[in-house]
């Protein structure tokens, strides 16, 4: 697989994870991701778990008490 193809696939998957969870990402924050090393492609669930973990550790997820899930 060519580098651009792999890079675009990663970007599409990342955008989809963020699109699905946009309601729980705090709107007053800006988020940027940088892929440092492309390896084997993770399955979608694994990528989703990693991204949500990063957002949670960074305090970028809205709490459920604020009325968002």
pLDDT digits (tens, 9 = 90+) for 12-52: 999 999 999 999 988 888 888 887 766 677 788 998 999 99
Q: What residue has token string 């699109």?
A: 19
Q: Is 15 helix (H, G, I), strand (E, B) or coil?
A: helix
Write out the two tokens for 11: 């970007």
Geometric angle at alpha carbon 22, from 66 and 59, rounded to 5°: 60
Contact 23, 58 (CB under 8 A): no
**Could you report the per-residue pLDDT of 55-69, keeping only the tens digit for each?**
999 999 987 544 444
Geometric angle at alpha carbon 3, from 15 and 11, rounded to 5°: 5
pTM of the model: 0.73
* CB neighbour list of residue 42: distance below 8 Å, 6 or more residues apart: 50
Q: What is the pLDDT of residue 68?
A: 43
């Amino acid at each position: 697989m060519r580098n651009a193809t792999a890079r675009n696939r990663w970007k599409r998957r990342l955008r989809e994870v963020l699109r699905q969870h946009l309601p729980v990402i705090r709107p007053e924050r800006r988020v940027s991701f940088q892929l440092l090393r492309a390896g084997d492609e993770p399955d979608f669930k694994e990528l989703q778990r990693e991204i949500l973990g990063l957002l949670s550790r960074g305090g970028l997820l809205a709490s459920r008490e604020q009325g968002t899930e």
